[in-house]
Chain A
Amino acid sequence: MDLSSSSVMSHDAPQTDGAMQASRDEAQVAPPTGSWRLPLPFSAAHAVLLDKRSVSANLLLGGLLAVVALLSLCLGSALISPLAAIRALLGQGDAMAVFVVQELRLARLMAGLLTGAAFALAGCLMQTLARNRLATPGIIGIDNGATAFAVASVVGLGISLAPPPMSLAGAAVATAITFGLAGGAGTRGYRFIVAGIGVGAVFGALTQLLLARVAIDVANSAYPWTVGSLNARSGDAVLILGVGLAVGVVIAQLLARSMAVLRFSDAVAQGLGIRVRLCRLLALALAVGLTALAVAVAGPVGLVALIGPEIARHLSSRRGVPLVGSALAGAVLMVAADLAGRLLFAPIEIPVGIVTAVVGGPFLLWILLRPAARDLT
């Protein structure tokens, strides 16, 4: 993962369009305080502005992710030393360790890493475009919509490839209903969110209805989805999620600058030359798609989408939207929560959805109840 290039607010300097600035731009512009100026190798005229705090935050999160990932490869019912785990990852060492690491834990680690990153990136996009830090996909019902459709595909069709497209459809339907009922995200503030809670409740009830209609063993096979767990992951769904996430990160990075401006009022954004509607639509589609693909793997673990961006926002500078930071923090959270769920009450495994709910609930209450001094604007 190339941290430095993906974390920048790419900034073309010198700017060639403003005639008034032309004379000033002749000279080498000193970078603003708190950033580095990184000249691009292929063109002397262009350079990239790196925000020092964001870069260090992302490096920190990346390091944390590496540690947590290594731990999740080492710990479990069979303990493997970190060195042995790395060797097993490369296919060396004794056959038992290689099997445990490569066949069992690596797949789970990848699933957790990708779902966490996708949930949190989607959450950050959604929060920014709704200008409300509580407006994450999980809270406004998108997770539940995706889950209902995915469960429908499992209990109805029984094909392992079916969940991702079905959950995409479900997420899109839930989003359309929520936005349609609330008349857009920006206009009514918290009402939008309560409408979303209502939509989520309906889809949750529909999921229960579907599960009640089928035989108990089929219902059991779909059960992990309803609480959010990495147990029921299918390799295909993880693969699709990986591809989707790779594309999503690129698009998000292209949108990053517009998103940073979108935090201001529509009039300001428009004045700065942002195509607000297009930008919103793209970000929304991206958030919905990422959430749906992640739900298809792990079920609704919506609180990651709320906490991940919050952590990233605290660490990074407040100048941009911490998209990459959110994804990294989400991955850390998801892997750590899964690890905790596996270890805390071993041999009983607590689903990752429940772990995040227990940890994230108080956090959410704190966001909700503290004085609204630093709301997302």
Chain B
Amino acid sequence: MCQAGEARRPLPLMFVWLSACLAAVCFLSLLFGAGEIGPGASLSSLLGMREGAAQHAEEAAFVIHELRLPRTMLGLVVGMALGVAGALLQAVARNPLAEPGLLGVSAGSAFAVAIALMLGASAATLRVSVAQLGALGGCLCVLAAARMRGVGNDPVRLVLAGAVLSGLLGALTSMILLVDQRTADEIRFWIVGSLAGRHLEDLQAILPSLALAGVITLLIGRPLAALALGERVAVGLGHHPRLVRLLAIGVVALLVGATTAVAGPIAFVGLVVPFAARALAGPDIRRTLWLCLPLGPLVVIGADIVSRLVVQPSELPLGVLTALIGAPVLILVVRSQRLPTL
């Protein structure tokens, strides 16, 4: 662990800085919204000042506590999960472009939920585990593709396969939605990917699996770092590459499935966040993972705030904004002369 300290910037300091930024963004997320409660009213409500009509103040308190607070909490959780999932998937696939949304993992999970609903499951109960199963299926499909001849050593080709897979699954999902009206009504607002209108109970449903994912991630951090040096080195150091990879894929499925279950499919976060984290922390996967924790929510909540403000009084789907941020990063990575190998 101590060798990690020899990189240029000390990790704890960066972590504290980013967390401070995150706290500021969370505060902003409580202040701004698409509705009539502006930053001034929100601030006075948060500070406990009762100015103006009592009804107005009550309305502000309601909006903040019942709408914006759950939303911000959800953004925190979703951001962390997607950031970590992206970093892990990239480490396993040894490919800086591997991103759950791009590779069809989120699409697989959304497709699984749509199928389950069509077969008669009710939205409230089944969703999380079904979404996680779908995510696992998506992961396995893509990694099977990566193992095929000619694809594994070309990072870009893997992304192409993933893009095709997610396009296919997306088309199948929209076909189900068109044919089955009940399913469409149940998940119409969920399928576009958004943090709006969720409750704290939704969050509670996914916390156990996220905790499990967190514990496993802590355990496989070291072996993953060794794996980055090559299969033989990892075996020589006493690790089991196959087991580690399987565990990492399981974690990705848990994380992506859980976030998709509450917030719908959100692409590109898992690309942007590890990209930024690697730029800050260097190649060590453990350092990258730590920085993904504050960076992920920073991106997600920041994008969510913008999505409330640009088309007032309505809102944008979050996926639109993450695509606008993420696609240029994708192009940037592809354009760089030498793709960094992981």
Contacts and interface: CB of A to CB of B under 8 A. Distances in A.
Interface stretch (B71-79, B151-159, B218-226, B290-298): B151-159
Contacts of A371: 149-150
Contacts of A213: 311, 314
A315 interface: no
A357 B171 contact: yes
Contact of B327 (A191, A199, A209): A199
Interface in B237-269: 267-268
B170 to A, nearest CB: 8
B334 A198 contact: yes
Interface string B141-177: 0000100111100101101110111011011101100
Given A361-B167, A368-B164, A198 B328 contact: yes
B178 A348 contact: yes
Interface stretch (A9-17, A200-208, A328-336): A200-208
Contact of A195 (B145, B148, B324, B334): B334
A221 B336 CA distance: 41
Given A195-B334, A362-B168, A190 B157 contact: yes
B335 A195 contact: yes
Given A195-B335, A361-B168, A212 B159 contact: no
A227 interface: yes
The prevalent SS among residues of B at the interface is helix
A194 B179 contact: no
Nearest to B141: A365
Interface stretch (B47-55, B275-283, B315-323): B315-323
B330 interface: yes
Contacts of A182: 335
Given A190-B156, A345-B178, A357-B171, A369 B145 contact: yes
Contacts of A48: none
Given A204-B323, A205-B324, A208-B317, A354 B174 contact: yes
B97 interface: yes
Contacts of B324: 202, 205-206, 209
A368 B158 CA distance: 9
A146 B164 CA distance: 20
21 contacts: A193-B156, A194-B334, A198-B328, A199-B331, A201-B267, A201-B323, A202-B327, A204-B323, A206-B324, A209-B320, A209-B324, A212-B317, A213-B311, A345-B179, A348-B178, A358-B171, A361-B171, A365-B145, A365-B164, A368-B157, A369-B145
Given A194-B97, A202-B328, A205-B327, 10 more contacts: A193-B160, A194-B156, A194-B160, A199-B331, A202-B327, A209-B316, A212-B316, A357-B170, A357-B171, A361-B171
